[in-house]
């Protein structure tokens, strides 16, 4: 029995892993608590899966793909797509429930998580429509006695490792295209936010997706995650998370000759030119950093302002930041909740201290709220002005509600500052000059560039990172390629085969 069938009472204890179509206790016989960052209390216990559980899940996934008698292997592409459509319908029915679970796990406001979960079904529907459109090609060789064609085959078993900030959305980015291509998946959610993933498994079970196709193994990264990356039957690893962890996973996967997709960290520039519609740009800057409590790899954490508008823009931004409603993330009126964990709060606080010690000027926030909001993990929206792009607060991914404002004099300097970072995930450009918009967008080294908006996203467009922000893409038609192999088949049309070792 999964969370879905047990209800959401605070007394929930010792949930189960989902392996080969069955809910099972972890082989470790261990569970750990998931802490609500707002209340500070543990509200559900998560199974601590280990190497034995990962092995069972991977073997089930391997059989689903490679055993010719398995139900999944025998399905037509259209039938695979129908399962994805059915899963989308079921997830739509449980969107509110899953949103509430994520709010209790990571503290993001319900207004954000509700919207996110309402959009997840469209990802499964999009790839349901692509399942029967995967095809090979016929190639004409120079030799007319030969025929060549290609077949597209599933890459096999996909190990999907997801972070704590948007658990089921980022899982959908991996699971939906992987299944459309005919693969099977072992999902390892972040240990801080496994609850909705385990409930997702119950939805999968109710839909009747064939056994072994989707497996969910919660557990700690050093145990379950490491075992998944190293397992000899895992054919690909898709990871979303921090750059340091991604580097470790990529190294481990490379040692086992596994391909990877990596969506990693960011320190994204949000560039405002003096000819921009400034009211829109201020709102875009505010949304770009303080949405999701700044806990997003695509957060616009570096605001680049032209010197002609710098002071007035910062004043307006501080005024709007002061009006952001902090409070209980379960309250629809709350606009910013607590930071997701004690560990993350301490990390963000250390960066605020670094900013104070630098030449930067703290112009807003930097402290917990003065009123009691029910949790000690709140931090006011924090803005530093006069930031040097070489400083730690401008170069390191803080992953919290901390904005670094950097001044520039002209277009060339803005581009130079924007690219002067190890990251290259996203960027924003605000200008009414369409020529400038294109010039700057082409020179920014980032996988996604927004012009006169920030954070627009959707399943229809691919996205990926440059530099230390990763490689490969997620979303769009293009992502299906990440989960396919190409096989070339040569057909001899001549009725005789020459003996190349005989006499001339």
Average pLDDT over every residue of 86-102: 97
Cβ proximity of 365 and 401 under 8 Å = yes
Are 161 and 292 contained in the same domain? no
Q: Decide if pLDDT at 322 tops 80.
A: yes
Asked whether residue 259 is domain-assigned, the answer is: yes
Are 251 and 380 contained in the same domain? no
Are 297 and 426 contained in the same domain? yes
List, for residues 7-50, the tens digit of each pLDDT value: 343 444 468 999 999 999 999 999 999 999 999 999 999 999 99
Asked whether residue 11 is domain-assigned, the answer is: no
In the prediction, which pLDDT does 160 show?
98
pTM more than 0.85: yes
Asked whether residue 227 is domain-assigned, the answer is: yes
List, for residues 191-217, the tens digit of each pLDDT value: 999 999 999 999 999 999 999 999 999
Are 226 and 287 contained in the same domain? no
Q: Angle at Cα 470 formed by Cα 468 and Cα 476, nearest 5°? A: 145
Q: How many CB atoms lie within 10 A of CB 256?
A: 12
Quote the strand ranges of 191-309, DSSP E. 214-216, 236-240, 260-263, 269-272, 302-306
Asked whether residue 3 is domain-assigned, the answer is: no
Query: pLDDT-derived band of residue 498, with 50, 70 and 90 as boundaries?
Result: confident
Query: What is the number of domains present in the chain?
Result: 2
Are 101 and 194 contained in the same domain? yes
Q: Give, as one character, the DSSP assignment of residue 72.
A: H
In the prediction, which pLDDT does 504 show?
62
Torsion angle of alpha carbons 457, 98, 477, 473, nearest 10°? 70
Are 84 and 132 contained in the same domain? yes
Phi, psi of 441 (to 5 degrees): -60, -40
Distance separating the N- and C-terminal Cα atoms of the chain: 73
Asked whether residue 13 is domain-assigned, the answer is: no
CA-based nearest residue to 336, from 378, 302, 374: 378
**Structure token digits, residue 193:** 């936010």
Instruction: Give 445-450's long-range contacts (Cβ < 8 A, gap of 24+).
Output: 445/419, 446/268, 447/473, 448/298, 450/426
Torsion angle of alpha carbons 444, 246, 478, 183, nearest 10°? 180
The domain in which residue 127 lies consists of 18-264+469-488
Asked whether residue 304 is domain-assigned, the answer is: yes
- Of 191, 223, 263, 397, which residue is the catalytic one? 263
Q: Are strands 426-430 and 448-451 parallel, antiparallel or unpaired?
A: parallel
Average pLDDT over every residue of 74-103: 97
In the prediction, which pLDDT does 344 show?
96
- The residues, any chain, with a CB within 8 Å of residue 448's CB and separated by 6 or more, are 298, 425, 426, 427, 463
Are 224 and 292 contained in the same domain? no
In the prediction, which pLDDT does 127 show?
98
Asked whether residue 366 is domain-assigned, the answer is: yes
In the prediction, which pLDDT does 1 show?
32
CATH number reported for the structural domain that contains residue 304 in this entry:
3.40.309.10
Are 239 and 98 contained in the same domain? yes
Are 159 and 214 contained in the same domain? yes
Are 247 and 351 contained in the same domain? no
List, for residues 290-317, the tens digit of each pLDDT value: 999 999 999 999 999 999 999 999 999 9
- Of 112, 191, 223, 297, which residue is the catalytic one? 297
List, for residues 387-423, the tens digit of each pLDDT value: 999 999 999 999 999 999 999 999 999 999 999 999 9
Domain boundary among 403, 424, 451: 451
CATH number reported for the structural domain that contains residue 50 in this entry:
3.40.605.10
Are 93 and 123 contained in the same domain? yes
Are 482 and 428 contained in the same domain? no
Asked whether residue 460 is domain-assigned, the answer is: no
How many Å apart are CA 193 and CA 376, to the nearest integer?
20
297 is catalytic: yes
């Amino acid at each position: 029995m999964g969370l879905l069938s047990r209800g959401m009472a605070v007394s929930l204890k010792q949930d189960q892993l989902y392996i080969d179509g069955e809910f099972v206790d972890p082989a470790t016989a261990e569970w750990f608590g998931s802490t609500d960052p707002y209340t500070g209390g543990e509200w559900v216990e998560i199974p601590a899966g280990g190497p034995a559980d990962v092995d069972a899940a991977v073997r089930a996934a391997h059989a689903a793909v490679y055993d010719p008698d398995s139900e999944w292997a025998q399905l037509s592409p259209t039938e695979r797509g129908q399962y994805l459509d059915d899963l989308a319908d079921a997830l739509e029915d449980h969107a509110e429930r899953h949103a509430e679970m994520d709010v209790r796990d990571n503290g993001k406001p319900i207004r954000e998580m509700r919207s996110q979960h309402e959009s997840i079904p469209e990802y499964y529907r999009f790839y349901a429509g692509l399942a029967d459109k995967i095809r090979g090609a016929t190639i004409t060789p120079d030799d007319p006695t030969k025929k060549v064609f290609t077949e597209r085959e599933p890459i096999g078993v996909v190990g999907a490792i997801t972070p704590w900030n948007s658990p089921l959305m980022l899982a959908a980015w991996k699971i939906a295209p992987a299944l459309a291509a005919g693969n099977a998946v072992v999902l390892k959610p972040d240990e801080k936010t496994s609850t909705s993933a385990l409930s997702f498994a119950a939805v999968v079970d109710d839909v009747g997706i064939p056994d072994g196709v989707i497996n969910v193994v919660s557990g700690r990264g050093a145990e379950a995650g490491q075992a998944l990356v190293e397992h000899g039957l895992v054919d690909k690893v898709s990871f979303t998370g921090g750059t340091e962890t991604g580097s470790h996973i990529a190294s481990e996967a490379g040692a086992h000759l596994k391909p990877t997709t990596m969506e990693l960290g960011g320190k994204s520039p949000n560039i405002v030119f003096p000819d921009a519609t400034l009211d829109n740009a201020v709102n875009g800057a505010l949304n770009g950093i303080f949405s999701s409590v700044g806990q997003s790899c695509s957060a616009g954490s570096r605001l680049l302002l032209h010197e002609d508008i710098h002071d007035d823009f910062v004043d307006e931004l501080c005024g709007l930041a002061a009006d952001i409603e902090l409070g209980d993330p379960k309250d629809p009126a709350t606009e910013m909740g607590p930071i997701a964990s004690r560990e993350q709060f301490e990390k963000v606080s250390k960066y605020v201290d670094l900013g104070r010690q630098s030449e930067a000027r703290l112009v807003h926030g930097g402290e917990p709220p003065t009123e009691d909001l029910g949790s000690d993990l709140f931090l006011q929206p924090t803005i530093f002005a006069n930031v040097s792009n070489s400083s730690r607060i401008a170069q390191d991914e803080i992953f919290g509600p901390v904005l670094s404002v950097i001044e520039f004099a002209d277009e060339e300097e803005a581009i130079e500052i924007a690219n002067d970072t190890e990251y290259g995930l996203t960027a924003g450009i605000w200008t009414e000059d369409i020529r400038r918009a294109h010039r700057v967008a082409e020179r920014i080294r980032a996988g996604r560039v927004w012009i006169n908006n920030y954070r627009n996203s959707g399943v229809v467009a691919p996205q990926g990172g440059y530099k230390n922000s990763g490689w490969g893409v997620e979303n769009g038609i293009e992502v299906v390629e990440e989960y396919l192999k190409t096989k070339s088949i040569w057909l001899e049309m001549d009725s005789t085969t020459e003996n190349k070792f005989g006499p001339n």
